[in-house]
Amino acid sequence: MFKVPINTPIMDKEEEEIVQKVISERYFTDQSYEGGKYVREFETALESYLNVKHVIAVSSGTAALIASLYAAKIEPGDEVIIPSLTFVATANAVKAVGARPVFVDIDNYYTIDAKEIRKKINKRVKAIIPVHLYGHVANMDEILEIAEEFGITVIEDAAQSLGSSYKGKMSGTLSKMGCFSFYPGKVMTTGEGGAIATNDDELADSLRKIRNHGFDKTGSITTFGLNFRMPQINAAIGSVQLKRLPQFLVAREKNAFIYLKYLMELSDKITLPPIRDGAKYNWYLFTILHPKRQKALENLKREGIDARVYYDPPVHKTPSYSYGGPLPKTEMVSKTTLSLPVNPIVNEDIIKKVTAILKESLN
């Protein structure tokens, strides 16, 4: 049976050739402040794509979050406001620097509710991490307004939203720092890896030192840091993938609108993806709310459709973070959310099949 993955890396000979080239050069890593040839090339290409002054490539999306929190001088005893409907890495990064995640409910776009943020502000809150979940961009205007009012740093978790934009600006560039992931299941991949985008020269300098054990341009250790370096092979793959990203996104958008066309007849029973005014989505996931999710999920899996649930339980219901409720919208969504494959290998026939299965599962 042909299986349709929720997401999969899409590569061809160019990625294979660049990997072989790096191997032949025996050039796997570089401890320099700048990051080495292939890392610099990838960073420059991503800066151009995002229209941002600095990109700092790192080893994972989680490393990007942790490095950003260190650069923002988040310390033990501080609190960081995050949504609970997110991958656990968002909370784990906060915990890794000794701070405490404070969980906030979501709005109608599956992103952190700015109005709920206000209710959680206190003197210990030093940062807000809005998550652009499923590729949906958070309400950044209101979030940034709150942050400015209280002197709080905003760090975007843009792990799922590379290619999404809000009012003409790319996600991950709307605040002081934006964190990306290039895990194999994302809209493009470096095999494993992440990056931080910023327009702030001082933050960029701090981040380059933090990713490399605190070494500055002269080779002196001037701050605390860890090994968050992106390997040269990963960066080389990333440069090739980034050239192909626009075509990946066009294919995703085409599939998303085919889904919308076919699923519209079920819109009185399921909730289709909402589209925020001023936002353009990368369609990392096509996420619906389905009242009979388990039945739909089982039927889809039986037919080789790799639909997924993101996320049940939400973070505040997991053993490491069993506090912060109730969060009624988060908890409702976590019990009904269902993400469907929308990646470039999906086609109209697959979408018709998915629609028929979803329709049958409502009976």
Over residues 238-267, mean pLDDT: 98
Give pLDDT tens digits for 300-351. 999 999 999 999 999 999 999 999 889 999 999 999 999 999 999 999 999 9
Give pLDDT tens digits for 59-82. 999 999 999 999 999 999 999 999
Two structure tokens written together for 1: 């049976």
Q: What pLDDT does 363 receive?
A: 87
Q: What pLDDT does 325 receive?
A: 82
Looking at the chain, the domain(s) classified CATH 3.90.1150.10 span: 245-361
Cα(79)–Cα(64) distance, integer angstroms: 18
pTM score of the predicted model: 0.97
| 3 and 304 Cβ atoms separated by less than 8 Å | yes
101: nearest Cα among 155, 172, 64, 56: 155
Q: What pLDDT does 1 receive?
A: 65
Give pLDDT tens digits for 281-308. 999 999 999 999 999 999 999 999 999 9
Two structure tokens written together for 241: 């993938």
Residue 193, pLDDT above cutoff 70 = yes
Name residues whose C-beta falls within 8 Å of residue 24's C-beta, 6 or more positions apart in sequence. Answer: none
Strand ranges inside 59-106, DSSP E: 79-83, 100-104
The fold of 13-241 is Aspartate Aminotransferase; domain 2 (3.40.640)
Looking at the chain, the domain(s) classified CATH 3.40.640.10 span: 13-241
Residue 332 sits at the vertex; the CA angle it makes with 126 and 174, to the nearest 5 degrees, is 35
Instruction: State how far Cα 10 lies from the chain centre.
Output: 18
Give pLDDT tens digits for 26-64. 999 999 999 999 999 999 999 999 999 999 999 999 999
Cα(257)–Cα(268) distance, integer angstroms: 18
Name residues whose C-beta falls within 8 Å of residue 306's C-beta, 6 or more positions apart in sequence. Answer: 3, 4, 5, 6, 300, 341
CATH architecture of 245-361: Alpha-Beta Complex (3.90)
Residue 151, pLDDT above cutoff 80 = yes
Give pLDDT tens digits for 87-123. 999 999 999 999 999 999 999 999 999 999 999 999 9
